[in-house]
Chains A and B, each alone.
Chain A
Amino acid sequence: MNYDCIIIGGGIAGLTCGIKCLKEGLSCAVISSGMSALHFSSGSIDVFGYDEQSRPVDNPFNYIEKFTALHGHHPYAKCGPDNIKEALFFFKDALAEEGLELHHNSNENHFIISTLGILKPSFFSQRSVYNEEIGGVFGKKSKIAFLNFDGYRDFYPDITIANLKKNALFKDTDFISGNILFPDYGSIKKNPFEFRSVDIARIFDTSRYLEDIAKQIKNKAAHADIVCFPAFIGISNFKKHHEALQELTGKLIYEIPALPPSLPGMRIDNALKSRFASLGGVFIAGDRVISGVIKNGMLENVRTANNMNEVLKSHCYVLASGSFFSGGMTSDSASIREPVFNLRVEYSPNRGDWASDKLFDKNSHKFIEYGVETNDSMNPFGADGSSISNMFCAGAILPHYNPVKDACGSGVAISTGYCAAKNIVNRIKGSKDRK
C-alpha cells in the first residue's frame, strides 16, 4: 500500500494535517491507536491563554508575536504568526463544512467556565459555550442558573457557584442552583454503574424529551438569563437540540465542558474524521506503528502491530503520536524515549528536574515540555544525530512548550499539523517539478 503521506496519530494534529494534505490533492492515511485526547479535552480551542506571569492573555496573536521573538524554540516560532492564523481558520472552516460551528471573540480570547467554576481563557468555542449573546451576559448584572440532571455524578452546581462567586467578574450576579429530572431516568437507573454525559447525550439525540426538559428548566430557573448545565445536549443532533431548547425556554443555554468522555471534544473528533473520510483519506483505527526503517536520512517504510508481514510506504511521514499519555513518548526512572523510531528527545538528564514537588504548581511540570527535538522544518533527528528529511513532527510530541501552563495545546496541535502538511506539499511538489 503506497500513499503520498502516512500520518502516525489520529488526534487533532494528525487529522488537521491529513485534511490539509487531502485538500492539496495528496493521498493520505492516518494510523491511530485508540481514541484521541479530544475525548478528554474541553472542546474549545486554546491558542495562547496565559502569559509568563500566569495572567490571562487578551489577544493571543499579538502575544505570540512578542513571545516567539524571545522564545525561538517554541513550536509557534517554527510555524510563524501568519501560518498560525491561517491554520486556525482553516480548521474552523473544515469543521464548519461538517456542520460544527466555532465561535470566537474577533481577535481576543473569551472565557469558558470549568466544571469547578474556574474561568479559563480560550479562543474558539462551540455555540453553546461562547457566542456574542453569551459574551454579553457575563460580567453584567444578571441571573445565572446552574442545573444538574438528577443522578449525574460528575457535576455539582453548588461547587461551581461557590468558586464563581470568588471572581470579581460575577460580583453583581445572582446564582440559582437546582436539579432537573430526566423523564426517562427510570430505565437508566436500572444500571447503577454508568450514568455519564454520553448516556444523557444519547437520550437527547432521540429528541423525545425536549419539551418536558424545557418545561422543567423554565420552572427551576424562572428568572435566569442564562441556564448552564454540563455538556450533553447530544452528539449528532447537538445544533438542532441547542436551538430547540433555547427557543422552548426563551433562555440562553450554556454547556459546561464536563468530565471525560467529553461531548464537545467528541463532536470535534467526529467532524474531523468525517471531513477526512469524505475527502478520501484512509483512517486505520486500532492499530499501532511498531517499527520503521530509516536509511540515508529518510524513513523508508513502517510496520504496524496488526500487519507484521507487510510494510506501509509513503513519500512523507508525520509523527503526531502525542505525548506520554498517548504513548508518543515513554519514560523509565532514568531516561525518556521516543519508542518507535528512537528519535532524539529533548529532556533534562537530571531526574529531579522532571517534575515539581507540588502537583498543582503554577509553573506546571517540566516533563510536559519534553519531546522530540526537530529542526526549523520540523524534521526530527535519528539515533545517529542526522535529521530525517521526509518525516515531520506535529502536536504534543514536540518539546519547548507547556500546554498546561500556557493554555496553547490545541492551537499548537493545529498549527504544527497544518505546517507539517504545507512542508510536505512543498516537498512533494518540489520533487515533481525537478522531474
Chain B
Amino acid sequence: MINIDNISFDHCIKCTVCTVYCPVARATHFFPGPKQSGPDAERLRIKNPELVDKSLSYCSNCKRCEIACPSNVRIADIIQSSKWKYFKKRFRVRDYFLARTDLLGSLATRLSFLVNLFTGFFPIKFLLEKFLKIPSKRIFPKYENGTFHGWYKKQKKHQENFKNKVIYFHGCYVDYNHHELGRDLIKVLNAMNIGVLLTTEKCCGVPLIANGYVENARKNALFNISSLGRSVRESGLRIVTTSSSCNLALKHEYPNLLELDNSAIVNHLDFITRFLCMEFDKGNLPAMKPMRIKAAYHSPCHLERMGLVMNTIDVLKKIPGLDLHILHSECCGMAGTYGFKSEFYNVSQKIGKELFDIINKASPDIVITDCESCKWQIEMNTPYKVMHPVSLLAMAIA
C-alpha cells in the first residue's frame, strides 16, 4: 500500500533546482542530491524497500531544498522519513547519546566541572574518536552547573506578577549549556513589562529525529503538545522559543514528519524575534542605549525555512547605533548532531567553508545568529564570538 499522506514527490518535475542549492551535494559527490535521494528514489523504495540507498544518510535535513523547490515538494521530509522506514535498525552508542540531549544534559549539569574538563582533554577526545566515532577536532559545547529550570525557581514569583506574560520553551541548550540566553530573554521581556513563565517540557525531538529514534521523538512531541497545550488553554498566553530548530520541530516536524496533531499549540507559537516585532509594532519598544559595534548576521537554515529571517533583521535594525551586516545566506554545515559524527565531519567543515570565508571577509566585532548549532560551528572555525539576537538586545538594554 502506498501511503498517500505525502505524495508530494509526485509534484516533482525533475528540474534539479534543489540539488543546485543543496549544501551537502555541493560539498561531496557521495551524496547524489535531494532530487535523486528524495522524490526520484522514493518511487523505487515504495515498490521495493530493498532499493534503499545508503547515501541517504548524507542528508543533514537543513531543508534548503524545500526552500528552493518551485513545485512545493517536501523533499527533506521524504528523505528523513525514508531513513527511518527503510534503513535497518542498528544500535550505536554514539547516536543513542547524541540523540538524547536531555539525558546527557541532566547528567552533565551535575558534574559540569568534570565533564567540561574531560571533553576538552585530548586523550579523552582521541578515545571518543577511536571508539565512538566522534571527531576529536570538534570542540564540545560546555555544560552549566545546574539547569536553567533550577535557576528559574527563584524568579518564578516575580515573573508571575507581571500583567502581560509569555510561556517560554527554552529547549535543551538553554537548560543545560547556556543559561545566559534564558536570563537575557527574561531581561529583555521584563524591560517590556512582560513576565516569562516556564512549563514542563522535554527535548523538542530534533536530535532524536536526526538519529532515527522516531518513537522517542513522538513521545517527546506528545508530551510537549499536551504540556504546552494545557498551559495555553489555561492562560491564553503565547509561547515563545529562542532556538530556531526547536521552533521548526514544534511547528513543522510534529505534523509533517511525526504525523502528530499540533493544532493545540501551533497558532500560539512565536519565534522570539517575531513576537518582539509584533510588540515593537504596537509601540512596546524598550529603551536602548546605542551599540557602537559591527555585527554580522548569519541566518540559520531552519529559520529561513520558516520565513522568519525578516523578523530577526527587523529586530536587529531597532538597536540604535548597530552597524549591521547581513551575510549572504549560506549553510554553516553543523546541522545539530551531524557535525559530531566522524563520517560527516569533513563534509560539515567543507560546507561551512563558504560561510567562514564570508564572515572573515566582513571582519565584524561579533557574529549574530539565532541557532545554537550554527554558533558552535562558527565559534570553532572563526575567531569571532557568536551571540543570539536576544543577548544583543539585552546588552543594549543594560
A residues with CB within 8 A of B: 1-2, 29, 33-37, 39-40, 187-188, 190-191, 193-194, 196, 198-199, 202, 260-261, 266, 277, 282, 284-288, 304, 306-310, 325-327
Contact A1 B314 (CB under 8 A): yes
Contact B70 A35 (CB under 8 A): yes
Which residue in chain A gives the minimum CB-CB distance to B305? A286
Contact A33 B70 (CB under 8 A): yes
Asked if B277 CB lies within 8 Å of chain A CBs, one says yes
4 further A-B pairs in the complex, CB-CB below 8 A; given A1-B314, A34-B69, A282-B310:
A39-B70, A193-B36, A277-B326, A285-B307
- Chain A binder among B12-20, B93-101, B133-141, B216-224: B12-20
Contact B304 A194 (CB under 8 A): no
Asked if B45 CB lies within 8 Å of chain A CBs, one says no
Which residue in chain B gives the minimum CB-CB distance to A326? B70
Contact B66 A191 (CB under 8 A): no
Which residues in A have their C-beta under 8 angstroms from that of B16?
194, 196, 260-261
Contact A194 B32 (CB under 8 A): yes
User: B187 to nearest A CB, angstroms?
Assistant: 25
Contact B277 A1 (CB under 8 A): yes
Which residue in chain B gives the minimum CB-CB distance to A192? B32
Q: Which of B67, B267, B277 is the one whose CB lies under 8 Å from A286? A: B67
Which residues in B have their C-beta under 8 angstroms from that of A260?
15-17
Which residue in chain A gives the minimum CB-CB distance to B17? A35
A to B contact number (C-beta, < 8 Å): 94
In the assembled complex, the Cα of A310 lies from the Cα of B33 at a distance in Å of 34
In the assembled complex, the Cα of A187 lies from the Cα of B350 at a distance in Å of 15
Q: Could you write out 9 A-B pairs with CB less than 8 Å apart? A: A33-B70, A34-B17, A35-B68, A196-B16, A198-B20, A261-B16, A282-B310, A288-B72, A306-B308
Known: A34-B69, A306-B307. A194 touches B25 (CB 8 A): yes
Asked if B274 CB lies within 8 Å of chain A CBs, one says yes
Q: Which of A37, A194, A308 is the one whose CB lies under 8 Å from B33? A: A194
Known: A260-B16, A261-B17, A304-B307. A194 touches B70 (CB 8 A): no
User: B80 to nearest A CB, angstroms?
Assistant: 17
Instruction: Among A1, A187, A286, A310, find the residue whose CB has the most chain B CB atoms closer than 10 A.
Output: A286
In the assembled complex, the Cα of A395 lies from the Cα of B347 at a distance in Å of 40
Asked if B194 CB lies within 8 Å of chain A CBs, one says no
In the assembled complex, the Cα of A266 lies from the Cα of B66 at a distance in Å of 18
Known: A34-B69, A191-B29, A310-B278. A39 touches B307 (CB 8 A): no
Contact B29 A187 (CB under 8 A): yes
Known: A35-B21, A285-B304. A308 touches B267 (CB 8 A): yes
Which residues in B have their C-beta under 8 angstroms from that of A193?
32-33, 36
Which residues in B have their C-beta under 8 angstroms from that of A285?
67, 304, 307
- Chain A proximity mask over B300-321: 1 for CB below 8 Å, otherwise 0: 0000111111110110000000
Asked if B6 CB lies within 8 Å of chain A CBs, one says no
Which residues in B have their C-beta under 8 angstroms from that of A188?
29
Which residue in chain A gives the minimum CB-CB distance to B35? A194
Asked if B26 CB lies within 8 Å of chain A CBs, one says yes
Known: A196-B16, A261-B16. A306 touches B70 (CB 8 A): no
Which residues in B have their C-beta under 8 angstroms from that of A1?
277, 281, 310-311, 314
How many interface residues does chain B have, given as a range? 35 or more
Known: A33-B72, A34-B71, A36-B70. A306 touches B19 (CB 8 A): no
In the assembled complex, the Cα of A266 lies from the Cα of B17 at a distance in Å of 10
Interface hits, B58-102 → A, CB 8 Å: 66-72
In the assembled complex, the Cα of A196 lies from the Cα of B33 at a distance in Å of 12
Asked if B30 CB lies within 8 Å of chain A CBs, one says yes
Contact A29 B310 (CB under 8 A): yes
Known: A190-B30, A193-B36. A34 touches B307 (CB 8 A): no
Contact B36 A194 (CB under 8 A): yes
Which residue in chain B gives the minimum CB-CB distance to A282? B310
Which residues in B have their C-beta under 8 angstroms from that of A309?
267
Which residue in chain A gives the minimum CB-CB distance to B277? A1
In the assembled complex, the Cα of A266 lies from the Cα of B19 at a distance in Å of 13
User: A191 to nearest B CB, angstroms?
Assistant: 4
In the assembled complex, the Cα of A285 lies from the Cα of B30 at a distance in Å of 28
Known: A29-B310, A39-B15, A304-B307. A266 touches B20 (CB 8 A): yes
Which residues in B have their C-beta under 8 angstroms from that of A37?
70
In the assembled complex, the Cα of A277 lies from the Cα of B329 at a distance in Å of 11
Which residues in B have their C-beta under 8 angstroms from that of A286?
66-68, 304-305, 307
User: A291 to nearest B CB, angstroms?
Assistant: 15
In the assembled complex, the Cα of A196 lies from the Cα of B278 at a distance in Å of 44
Contact A261 B20 (CB under 8 A): yes
Instruction: Among A36, A288, A304, A309, find the residue whose CB has the most chain B CB atoms closer than 10 A.
Output: A309
Contact A310 B274 (CB under 8 A): yes
Which residues in A have their C-beta under 8 angstroms from that of B305?
286
In the assembled complex, the Cα of A196 lies from the Cα of B281 at a distance in Å of 47
Which residues in A have their C-beta under 8 angstroms from that of B36?
193-194
In the assembled complex, the Cα of A260 lies from the Cα of B304 at a distance in Å of 25
Contact A282 B313 (CB under 8 A): yes
Instruction: Among B19, B69, B70, find the residue whose CB has the most chain A CB atoms closer than 10 A.
Output: B70
User: B311 to nearest A CB, angstroms?
Assistant: 8
Which residue in chain B gives the minimum CB-CB distance to A306? B307
Which residue in chain B gives the minimum CB-CB distance to A201? B20
In the assembled complex, the Cα of A304 lies from the Cα of B311 at a distance in Å of 14
Contact A34 B70 (CB under 8 A): yes
Which residues in A have their C-beta under 8 angstroms from that of B70?
33-37, 39, 325-327
In the assembled complex, the Cα of A82 lies from the Cα of B271 at a distance in Å of 47
Which residues in A have their C-beta under 8 angstroms from that of B309?
284
Which residues in B have their C-beta under 8 angstroms from that of A196?
16, 19
Contact A261 B15 (CB under 8 A): yes
User: B211 to nearest A CB, angstroms?
Assistant: 25
Contact B17 A190 (CB under 8 A): no
Which residues in B have their C-beta under 8 angstroms from that of A187?
29
User: A326 to nearest B CB, angstroms?
Assistant: 6
Contact A190 B29 (CB under 8 A): yes
Q: Which of B32, B274, B281 is the one whose CB lies under 8 Å from A191? A: B32
Which residues in A have their C-beta under 8 angstroms from that of B281?
1-2
Which residues in B have their C-beta under 8 angstroms from that of A40?
15
Which residues in B have their C-beta under 8 angstroms from that of A194?
16, 19, 25, 29, 32-33, 36
Known: A35-B17, A260-B16. A287 touches B307 (CB 8 A): yes
